[in-house]
A and B are shown apart, each in its own frame.
Chain A
Amino acid sequence: MRRAGLALVVALILAMPFVAGDYYVTLMLPFFAYSVILLGLNLLFGYTGLLSFGHALFIGVGAYAAAFLTSKFGVMHLEAILLAAAGAAVLIAAPIGGLCVRYVKIYFAMLTLAFGMLFHSFLLKFYFVTGGDEGMRVLQPFLLGFDLSQIPKVRFLTRPFYYYSVVVLAVATFVMWRIVSSPFGLCLRAIRDNPDKAQSLGVSVKRYRWYAFVISAAYAAVGGALLGPTTGQVDPNLAYWTHSGNIVFMMLLGGFANFFGPLVGALVFIFLQDTVMSIVPYWRLVFGAILALIVIAAPGGLMGLLDRRAVSWGEKSRQGGAPP
């Protein structure tokens, strides 16, 4: 049943460029990018129990890596860009994570927020490096070594780049699935549910949290790098704290207790935002109300509503208290 559902979804995604209009096909591109980002974010929140409110930092790292490599260094191969984005994110996340995982709950959220804003003000103020608030251009990358600049931009986005993104998302999903169903993933869940017990059973809580942090940062950067080519432009708002809030919103909308929940959240968020904005300009009002409703009435998100068995730990969890 579950397999059949998954196969149907995959078939729909693969068929979409041939049946749907170009506009909706290009709307799928941010969905793929945000899906990669959210897979990582959910490893940190849904599986490890740490809410990052500064994850946009790593989206920014990935997006600016794509911008720098294509427009400053002439590195056009998207494979190289994605790898470089992930590598840069790991290098940046390693020390930041080392500091952040010493805390949990609100202090973790605040520290990640502070790091995110630090990076944002760097992007904004050091305009001679980053282009300031105007941001930077992302040139159309080569896919698998092919220079596709002959093809019109829309055609490039809706065909080769679309399927490229699908493959990246598929690989990212497969790897993440292996991570969360491995003993490592089990340890993360044990840490989420009861860090003291996990520690006493020999799980190195801080080190595992740090692993989760670094992995999720790499995912965010890969997703961030995928965001660039669609718009051809990156700007500091990618790293702003409200962007962090929005991706947390997507995760909660779909449901963090479910592996695919955040992906559903991203899909609904992007298409609903598009629909609402075509009717009224006030999407924030509508989405704020939706978020409030979810937090209050359905902390399991959309997938939680579908699947009542989803374990909701929205109720007060027994996680460790304030830092020492």
Chain B
Amino acid sequence: MLVHLANVLLSGVFHASILFLVAAGLQVVFGVQRIFNLACGSFYALGAYVGVSFVQASVQAGLPPGLFVLALVAGGLCVAVVGPVVERGLLRFVYDRDETFQLLLTFAVVLMLEDVIRMLWGTSPLSTGGLYLLYGQLKVLGVTVPVYNLIVIGASLLIALLIGYMLARTKFGRIIRAAADNREMSEALGVDMRRVYVRVFTLGTLLGTVGGALVIPATAAMTEMGIELIVEAFAVVVIGGLGSMRGAFVGALVVGVLRSIAISTYPELEMLLIYLIVIAVLVLKPRGLFGGAAA
């Protein structure tokens, strides 16, 4: 029983650590640019596909398969270049528009990226084969967990800490917080908002693509994975509070673990439960658990 519970919790935390990355990307963009970026899920899907390609390429190039994690991260980082393209090419035209139009523009990006993925990688699911268990499994007190899961959880925690450090301690972090707090005032004080927006959106994209790349050994890349994940990430940021990094962290844990528990006990409830919580939070505490905190 206890072993079962531990297994459920661990798989929930693994999912949560991926969710956190995508949700963090959503948060940083919303916090600064005030745009709810539906395309975050598409960036995640893109990262996953590029991850598969990078791993295949690295194996073909004769690199030891043990290095596949590095190939994944490299793939995620490289494909983040779509971030500035989308920001400069599309989003910058709508910053002074009603936010419903901004939302729709990101929906346009969702549509386009879905077909870009179909064009480049086809419609059948892709996976990295047996690499998932390459690092073996860890057995502690009867609980079995793939080492790769632990690596991802660790990496996600590390990224969370890095983001926290960046926001709190670095100059760029201070600028982000200032811009999130008061755009006009920051501009008046000499912050180049254009540059901040490009960087912030690239950071948001990067978190999504790396999240997608890291999930890929554990699951297959599918064309619908983006539009499916975005609603989960949406649940995360609503529960945590829009624009808050701490909110993304806690929200991801809530969604990841609850979903895992629901799947193992009462599968019908899987996402139903999550949406019920989202609605409850929106109705009772629309700013979420950590709403109003700095980006």
Contacts and interface: CB of A to CB of B under 8 A. Distances in A.
A295 B270 contact: no
B109 interface: yes
A114 B278 contact: yes
Contacts of A126: 268
B116 A285 contact: yes
A291 B104 contact: yes
Given A284-B115, A291-B107, A117 B271 contact: yes
A45 B108 CA distance: 19
Interface stretch (A100-108, A160-168, A199-207): A100-108
Nearest to A124: B271
Main secondary structure of the interface of B (DSSP, over half): helix
Contact of B103 (A51, A125, A282, A323): A51
A121 B272 contact: yes
Nearest to B283: A99
A109 B242 CA distance: 14
Interface string B85-109: 0000010011011111101110111
Contacts, number: 132
B44 to A, nearest CB: 16
Interface in A270-319: 281-285, 287-289, 291-292, 295-296, 299, 313-317, 319
Contacts of A314: 97-98, 101
A102 B283 CA distance: 9
Given A126-B268, A241-B227, A296-B93, A285 B119 contact: yes
A113 interface: yes
B264 to A, nearest CB: 15
Contacts of B197: none
Contacts of B111: 284-285, 287-288, 291
A111 interface: yes
B45 to A, nearest CB: 13
A296 B271 contact: no
A121 B275 CA distance: 9
B36 interface: yes
